[in-house]
Amino acid sequence: MAGTSYWDYLHLDQLLGAQGGVDGTNVSSDELTFIVVHQVFELWFVIGLREVRLARDTLASNHVDETSIPTVVHHLRRLGEVLRQGVAHFDLVETLAPQDFLAFRDKLFPASGFQSFQMRELEALLGLDDAQRVAGGPADPIQHILDAAGNTPAGRLAISRIRALATEGTLHAALDAWLHRTPIDGSSPSDAQDEACVDAFVDRWLGAFDAHLHRTEEHLASTRGPDASIAARFASARASARTFLHATDVQEASRARRSRVRAAVLFIESYRHLPLLAWPRLLLDTLVETEEQLVLWRNRHARMVERVIGRRIGTGGSGGVEYLDRTATLRIFHDLWTVRTLLLPAEANPALLHADAYGFSKG
Ligand code: HEM
């Protein structure tokens, strides 16, 4: 009996029979390139979605063992690599001159990557906040998929998966829960004095931040002379640090929780030399790296689009490059990015009271 064949295992009859475009046959080499690059992207998304789901599932457990954090990092790294590969594929699309694309573009209306179910699912699974989506894009990803011929097996699957996130949770939500219960200077949310301990940590840290900013400001003033606009910028940096760490920018009902999550990010990033914080810190860095790849993907796509079709309206009906550039300003893991503005040189960090809770060295 013959064993499995390469052809059957990879379902190549279906895969290689799917490049006929609208006409089903006789596409030009330019259109073939266009079709195949999109198909390859959609396949990369299959891998990416699986990896995010696995990372989310591990991080969403009530107790995330130290030894499972490398697994989460592993899954996220694969998604990052998928996006990095995707960025490179736009070079191939740019082998189409504007007129080469215009030769078949009219066939596409209103089809567009705008309608990619998997792109919307990826954003939703990562935890992109719908309220923060840019104008001119999909305000509601489920409605967007429905509008884009959602009554197909793939559309229905994507919709049911996005709906399931309401109970299963997003990667962002799982990260938030994990960060919220991270012990900060030895204190956990279940400890009676937790709020006071975390507040004291934040106050000590803000003191160190102010002192650091003061030194930088003095240094600048000594080299550039007094400058009211620079002084105002430093005052604003101090105020922003307080707004962020006290979470006064969020609704009062969620303020205490947000404030603890942000303190945890600051704590993990600042004391990364402590053995038990090394992997958590790598996880945070990997999340930032992964989101950076997504932003680079959006940017690279926008530059390719600008080169090939200029600033005309997209086949999906959006403002084209103008819309795409705004999507590149979207961020999912806001707190992880914002903390980077606040970090201090290691020697300026305030000493911890309970560094011994995190491994063998003193903080
Ligand atoms: C000549 C090549 C391409 C052009 C001119 C182009 C153009 C555009 C434009 C103008 C949009 C904005 C929506 C609209 O109004 O249509 C868009 C969205 C999009 N395109 Fe492309 N695109 C090209 C290739 C690709 C490729 C190869 C991919 C790979 C999957 C892709 C994926 C997407 C995605 C996912 C969106 C939605 C972005 C979002 O809403 O955040 N595009 N494209």
Q: Is 117 in the pocket of ligand 1 (CB under 6 A)?
A: no
Tens digits of residue pLDDT in 113-145: 999 999 999 999 999 999 999 998 999 999 999
Mean pLDDT on 75-101: 97
Burial of 121 (0-12, 13-18, 19+ CB in 10 A): buried
- Percentages helix, strand, coil for the chain (3-state, rounded to 5) are 70, 0, 30
Q: Best mutation site among 87, 305, 312, 325 for ligand 1, i.e. most ligand atoms within 8 A of its Cβ?
A: 305
Residues 215-242: tens digit of each pLDDT: 999 999 899 887 889 999 999 999 999 9
CA of 330 to the centre of ligand 1 (A): 16
What is the per-residue pLDDT across 333-350, written as a single tens digit (0 to 9) for each? 999 999 999 999 999 999
Whether residue 320 has its Cβ less than 6 Å from ligand 1 = yes
- The band of 360, judged by pLDDT with boundaries at 50, 70 and 90, is low
List, in sequence order, every residue forming a beta bridge with 298; answer none if it has no partner: none
Q: Which amino acid belongs to residue 42?
A: E
Name the helix (H) or strand (E) containing 131: none
Write the burial class of residue 218 (CB in 10 Å: 0-12 exposed, 13-18 middle, 19+ buried): exposed
Q: Residues 35-74: pLDDT tens digits?
A: 999 999 999 999 999 999 999 999 999 888 888 999 999 9
Quickly name the fold that domain 26-358 has.
Methane Monooxygenase Hydroxylase; Chain G, domain 1 (1.20.58)
Q: Which of 112, 140, 308 to mutate to test the pocket of ligand 1 (most atoms within 8 A of CB)?
A: 112
Q: What tens digit of pLDDT does each residue of 259-275 get? A: 999 999 999 999 999 99
Q: Which atom of ligand 1 lies nearest, measured to the CA of 116?
A: 35
Residue whose Cα lies nearest atom 37 of ligand 1: it is 114
Q: What atom of ligand 1 comes closest to residue 314's alpha carbon? A: 15
Share of the chain above pLDDT 90, in %: 90
How close is the Cα of 301 to the center of ligand 1, in Å? 7
d(CA 272, CA 282): 9
Residue 134 DSSP one-character state? P
Euclidean distance between the first and the last CA atom of the chain, given in angstroms as a whole number: 66
Quick one: pLDDT at residue 148? Answer: 86
Q: 187 forms bridges with which residues in the sheet? A: 184
Tokens, residue 284: 């945070």
Residue type, 268: I
Q: How confident is the model at residue 98 (pLDDT cuts 50, 70, 90)?
A: very high
Distance 114 CA to ligand 1 centre (A): 6
How confident is the model over 289-313, as pLDDT tens digits? Answer: 999 999 999 999 999 999 999 999 9
The answer, yes or no, to whether any atom of ligand 1 lies below 6 A from the CB of 201, is no
Sorted by sequence, the CB contacts under 8 Å of residue 27 that are 6+ apart come out as 19, 20, 21, 35, 104
Give the model's pLDDT for residue 2.
79
pLDDT at residue 363 greater than cutoff 80: no
A 10 A CB-CB count for 162 gives 20
Instruction: Write the burial class of residue 353 (CB in 10 Å: 0-12 exposed, 13-18 middle, 19+ buried).
Output: middle
What are the structure tokens assigned to 271, written together? Answer: 């004391």
Distance 30 CA to ligand 1 centre (A): 16
Q: Please tell me if the CB atom of residue 86 comes closer than 6 angstroms to any atom of ligand 1.
A: no
Taking only the tens place, the pLDDT of each residue in 4-32 is 999 999 999 999 999 999 988 789 999 99
Q: How far is CA 292 from CA 148, 255, 296, 333, 338, in A?
A: 28, 27, 6, 10, 14
Ligand 1 centroid–CA 305 distance in Å is 7
pLDDT one-digit tens code per residue, 173-201:
999 999 999 999 999 999 999 999 999 99
Q: What does pLDDT average to over the chain?
A: 95
Measured from the Cα of 312, ligand 1's closest atom is 10
Name the residue of 301, 306, 318, 332 whose CB sits within 8 Å of the most ligand 1 atoms, as the mutation to test its pocket: 301
